[in-house]
Amino acid sequence: MYKKRVETDEVFEFVDHSKDSVEEKKEFENFLTELRPDAAKDLLQKFEDYQYALWEENQKVNLVSRKTLAQDYWINHFLDSILGTKHIDFSGKRVLDFGTGGGFPGIPLALLFPSSEIYLLDSKHKKIKALKVITEKLDLNNCFTLVSRIEELAPHWFDSFDYIVSRSVKITPEYASILFKLLKPEGKLVLYKSKILDDTEQFENKKIIDISHPKIGERKLVIIWEK
């Protein structure tokens, strides 16, 4: 049964809620069913478990804004993280989630593509520790955590990734140089963007896909390759 957060005398609880939560979840379920008709039911259960685990850890560490109710995770974070999977198949791929923050889009991708290897990278120890707890609760054996600044990753990570995804980091030329070193020769950088695309202008080789959604608004998937 779906539940949401309420606040009473500084105590947070996950309690039953009705119309809004059901609508948000249903919107996500519809997309999931269109994407994976044969597996949607099992996947939805995994995302329900993820929703609660994320909410629980978020009470201890600020993974997502605490102003965001748990019911809003369905659209703002879960759906937003998987919109681009209509255009990219991450099955069997090694993927780095650069600046993962609350685990987006990495954890949703790991749930959706169990044959992939997803690495969650963030420089904040508390966040990565909380994400590790979440992935363990979800038995996500294909999801790993890395605590580091991108520029401090050891050279043995060079030429390691088929894709590097990023949902919230502004890509500077310095970052771009490092990211291309981390990618395999045919690897691609995948950026989740809205209206502002100024940090993508530095790249000559790119494809921009409109993945806008009525519940989310304008969204672009920018796929970039070096040569």
Does residue 97 contact residue 161 with C-beta atoms inside 8 Å? no
The class (CATH top level) of 84-224 is: alpha beta
Q: What is the mean pLDDT of residues 46-63?
A: 95
Task: With beta carbons less than 8 A apart as the criterion, state whether 57 and 132 touch.
Answer: no
Q: Range(s) for CATH 3.40.50.150 in the chain?
A: 84-224
When pLDDT is averaged across residues 121-131 and rounded to a whole number, the result is 96
pLDDT at 10: 40
The pairing of strands 11-16 and 3-8 is antiparallel
Which positions ≥6 away from 75 have C-beta within 8 Å? Answer: 24, 27, 28, 215, 216
State the average pLDDT for the chain.
91
Q: What confidence score (pLDDT) does residue 49 get?
A: 96
Predicted confidence band of residue 66 (pLDDT cuts 50, 70, 90): confident
Query: Angle, to 10 degrees, between the axis of helix 19-35 and the axis of helix 40-58?
Result: 130
Residue 6 has pLDDT above 60, yes or no: no
Residue 9 banded pLDDT, cuts 50, 70, 90:
very low
What is the mean predicted confidence (pLDDT) over 16-42?
A: 86
Task: Give mean pLDDT, residues 30-37.
Answer: 96
The pLDDT of residue 16 is above 50: no
Q: Which of 84, 83, 77, 44 is nearest to 58 (CA)?
A: 77
pLDDT of 2 = 40
Contact 40, 32 (CB under 8 A): yes
Mean pLDDT of 31-57: 96
